[in-house]
């Protein structure tokens, strides 16, 4: 579990700009959803930020997965080997945190 938390902290430290953009989009979408009435003529105001939020969600997951380079001789995991289960747990915790934030804004 300690290795998973170290890997999660490393991912958060390296991806903080993308996470900040995701949270800004999430806050903007939440604000627009609360500010606009439930009128069908205002759906365009909600759909564009929602699509941007979904795009940022999948982009962040893709960047998170591709953060660990598997080939070459200068990878962090060669000098400090981690168990694959720890790596999988760290990535899963990160994705579950994104999903929790995403679904809390949708409800």
Beta-carbon-side half-sphere exposure of residue 24 (alpha carbons within 13 Å):
6
Measure the CA dihedral 53/59/65/67, to 10°. -120
Answer yes or no: are the C-beta atoms of 93 and 8 closer than 8 Å. Answer: yes
Instruction: Provide the CA 55 distance to its chain's centre, in angstroms.
Output: 11
Q: Residue 89 above 60 pLDDT?
A: yes
> pLDDT tens digits, residue range 39-86?
656 555 557 777 888 888 899 999 988 887 665 666 665 556 777 788
pTM: 0.72
| DSSP element (H, E) containing 41 | none
Quote the pLDDT of residue 26: 86
State the helix-helix crossing angle for 43-66 and 84-106, rounded to 10 degrees.
Answer: 170
């Amino acid at each position: 579990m300690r290795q998973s938390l170290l890997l999660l902290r490393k991912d958060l430290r390296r991806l903080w700009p993308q996470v900040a953009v995701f949270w800004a989009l999430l806050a903007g979408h939440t604000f627009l959803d609360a500010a606009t009435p439930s009128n069908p003529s205002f759906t365009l105001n909600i759909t564009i930020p929602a699509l941007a939020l979904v795009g940022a969600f999948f982009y962040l997951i893709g960047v998170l997965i591709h953060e660990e380079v598997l080939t070459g001789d200068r990878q962090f995991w060669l000098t400090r080997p981690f168990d694959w289960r720890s790596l999988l747990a760290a990535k899963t915790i990160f994705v579950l945190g994104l999903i929790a934030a995403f679904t809390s804004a949708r409800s």
